Structure 1
């Protein structure tokens, strides 16, 4: 390079990027860890649901050998759930390869009712759990803070910070691509952490950029509704009907008999060119203004466009089928890239592993900051201890809380009142307890070893308790073709083995340092 030329990324730019990169990671690292970890679990939400809901597993219910008839199977189930009350609206989620049962929800004059049923029409007992689909997955994008979309705003802000952190990280680590081929797992801990941080950052950088950007795009219409305000005057319903191809109308107040639903399914399949239905909604049931909406299954393509087809619930006439415009189509493709709802098992496993790599990226960044501050400043102060406790609580603590909820799922009797809420309480109380434990024990080092031991014991206990309570161990599940249970148990076993090895290694390392740490503390 000649003297007249300047480097594209100079020291001044790297120094300018260092502050936002560091403090975005330190302040939001715990939240980003939660988002990435729960997003990774959401990739296999259906499989975790099967593990947490034994009555819905493949071995417990008959597999559908043909398309489910709405008129002969689903409508009688809706009437049973309504229990003589007037039905206002209802929907059914049809079974598929990953979920061999139907999920139904009925809204009546006297309240709501719901449940799960087999493809043959047998209503199953209450599952007594929210499972991954209704707990881990919403925690990923809304933090279960639905009022005023507060959770969406928080996750959106953290996602923007993550995107800025990825870009600034590439600028800061000028030798990041060169250092990609260097990983020193021995010697200085701080150097090893930075090597692992660089390795996961470069190896999975395209995925992290894609998953973060598409997550922001998905939430954007909620947190920045300026376009809806400008084009539709804030009329959200008209926006959904016009731009997204929806259809709605109020009740007429005139009772009318419903048309057969199976011919509507056949017409929807024809309009989709052979696509299969996934969800059926019936609005204004029993009314002259009844509307039937049928959503397409998205497992055969990347786009998350459900291509809704609307029929008149009384006459069966087609009301609306509107292909998406270019902007909506692009949004649906980006949503599909984020959700990974398509049926491609190798890609689904890559999403899961790359999501966990994001957790490693965030965690090693926070640990590197801690080690660097300890080396520079010596005995840590209150700020360091706070970050250390937060890091411990959002890494090993989050794992402990998740596994504790799964263990409670297997231990709690089925007749416990509000059983699903008890499981949620176990999750949050365990998570709080692990964070408090980390804060109390953090003087020089967080209690990594003891919490890794807890992770190992809980993961192994989950496999054992699943065997004891359901009689289904991995070998038997594999013989029955129940790959959801096999997969969850296998990941639990690997988690137990990995956490146990890490805990033993940390314990061996801590023993030689114990006397040194004690002298430092006494001196302080």
Structure 2
């Protein structure tokens, strides 16, 4: 027998109220537990989408190349190894392309890197280092902690973000029905809550992709360990062998520098793709090898072929992206999909804007919780001050580190880290003496002023005749962002 709807009967809710209340409580608890790190990872990730553009901005005064000959690459690599001295373990060679229009050589000695830029003839010039961009990307990827532990923590943050998205949907059964419902101009808490929910719905596919890929990238070591235990009796090397090229046979006997020119010639017989980079392993040992990463020219997310040569120029390993299985395609696509490094500039801009939307969600989730406590007569002014210092201390610290790097000719990523850490502590210390409103206003004021100083200082120091046009683009964005922060001081202040 079919039930007949009775006039006036209330529609049964999709989810039981008790379940919704419990999920909402869990959603709030999860967000609060990871609030600061989630905000930091989202903020730095939104900026790191433009890592290549920021490298060009930091080196806007360098000459640019469209192409380079194999002989010039060999000459530059040989000169860089000779200038570095003994003990060179790896050499990273970036071939000029649309993303980075330089021939860049980086040598590695026991984890210490030196960078050079070479001209079209292979002659080296000092430069090519991007200390602030390196600092920023490391902060996003592993928080400048020991790499494995830092990546694990960031991976857990991705899991927390994905869990928050799911619990947020379950805690708001009407969230899709009210996707365009905004209560503006009334209660500040309700307005913030509506913006929080609307951004969560409008950009849900992006949020899921970014959180899922971030979790997988951060938890790679754990995933590999589990696969090793489950499939290869704990041998994780066999798991890595499924996805990365094999290492050459270890032979530490001294030898002349690897000769790359015959390898270029041999490679042309196997592919007509564009060489993106070359990785030299133990280039002055008999066991040396060279790995060529080649863009196959396709539109697939995984589009990089790998070709590895031994010292004699013999191709002993090759892997085309198109021949990979589903698992290899997914692994190879994670980084590209996470940072939006596909589809050109428009995709990057979309990723950046959506990323800042996610950062806003991470920020105002705590703001909503604090406002709800205040509305219930249980204000937490101490936490309001701390959260205001956390939110507005980061733009101040990141911009201050960039200004310091710009002003110091010998700056390193560690220099930027020290400046960032000092300014972060200063902002948190101010929360002990100043109200949340004052911390917010001073944070926006100083961040806006430093952004203007950064852009104008960069124009004076780096934007001479023939400078990279990308420098003008980045400086324009800095000026606009600084002006918007200063303009926000005219409006009613928001404690966070």
Please confirm whether the aligned pair reaches a TM-score higher than 0.5, indicating the same fold. yes
1:440 Cα shift? 2.5
Q: Which residue of 1 aligns with 2:34?
A: 28
Contact 1:251 1:289 in 2 (8 A): yes
Report the Cα distance in structure 1 between the residues aligned to 2:14 and 2:306, rounded to whole angstroms.
49
1:139 Cα shift? 1.1
SS in 2 for 1:321: strand
Report the Cα distance in structure 2 between the residues aligned to 1:419 and 1:86, rounded to whole angstroms.
21
SS in 2 for 1:441: coil
Contact 2:397 2:423 in 1 (8 A): yes
Identify unmatched segments of 5+ residues in structure 2: none
Q: Which residue of 2 aligns with 1:76?
A: 78
Contact 1:68 1:94 in 2 (8 A): no
User: For 1:441-520, what aligned pairs fall within 5 Å after superposition?
Assistant: 441-442=434-435, 445=437, 447-471=439-463, 482-506=468-492
Indicate which of 397, 403, 412 corresponds to 1:401.
397
User: For 1:191-340, what aligned pairs fall within 5 Å after superposition?
Assistant: 191-224=190-223, 225-241=225-241, 243-254=242-253, 260-268=259-267, 270-271=269-270, 273-297=271-295, 301-304=299-302, 306-314=304-312, 316-323=313-320, 324-340=324-340
Provide the alpha-carbon RMSD of the alignment: 2.9
Contact 1:460 1:492 in 2 (8 A): yes
Of 213-222 and 456-465, deviating more is 213-222
| 1:408-430 CA distance string (max 9 Å, x none) | 12223x2x5x6543332111111
Q: Which residue of 2 aligns with 1:513?
A: none
Report the Cα distance in structure 2 between the residues aligned to 1:300 and 1:431, rounded to whole angstroms.
44
Residue 177 (str. 1) matches residue 176 (str. 2): yes
1:162 Cα shift? 0.8
Indicate which of 440, 452, 455 corresponds to 2:433.
440
Return closer, same or farther for 1:269/1:81 CA change in 2, 3 Å cut-off: same
Report the Cα distance in structure 1 between the residues aligned to 2:89 and 2:412, rounded to whole angstroms.
28
| 1:10-55 CA distance string (max 9 Å, x none) | 3222112111101111221211111111111111112112223xxx
Q: Which residue of 2 aligns with 1:411?
A: 407
Contact 1:152 1:223 in 2 (8 A): no
Report the Cα distance in structure 2 between the residues aligned to 1:191 and 1:400, rounded to whole angstroms.
28
Contact 2:389 2:428 in 1 (8 A): yes
1:187 Cα shift? 2.2
Contact 2:196 2:361 in 1 (8 A): yes
1:112 Cα shift? 5.2
| 1:66-92 CA distance string (max 9 Å, x none) | 445465433332343234x36554332
Return closer, same or farther for 1:372/1:329 CA change in 2, 3 Å cut-off: same
| 1:132-189 CA distance string (max 9 Å, x none) | 1x21112112111125x22122112221111111111112222223333233431211
Q: Which residue of 2 aligns with 1:166?
A: 165
SS in 1 for 2:124: coil
Identify unmatched segments of 5+ residues in structure 1: 511-524
Q: TM-score, normalised by structure 2?
A: 0.88
Return closer, same or farther for 1:361/1:255 CA change in 2, 3 Å cut-off: closer
Report the Cα distance in structure 2 between the residues aligned to 1:19 and 1:247, rounded to whole angstroms.
49
Report the Cα distance in structure 1 between the residues aligned to 2:460 and 2:346, rounded to whole angstroms.
31
Report the Cα distance in structure 2 between the residues aligned to 1:240 and 1:9, rounded to whole angstroms.
44
Report the Cα distance in structure 1 between the residues aligned to 2:234 and 2:119, rounded to whole angstroms.
42
SS in 2 for 1:394: helix
SS in 2 for 1:278: strand
Report the Cα distance in structure 2 between the residues aligned to 1:407 and 1:299, rounded to whole angstroms.
38
1:290 Cα shift? 2.5
1:255 Cα shift? 5.0
Q: What is the aligned length? A: 484
Q: Which residue of 2 aligns with 1:425?
A: 418
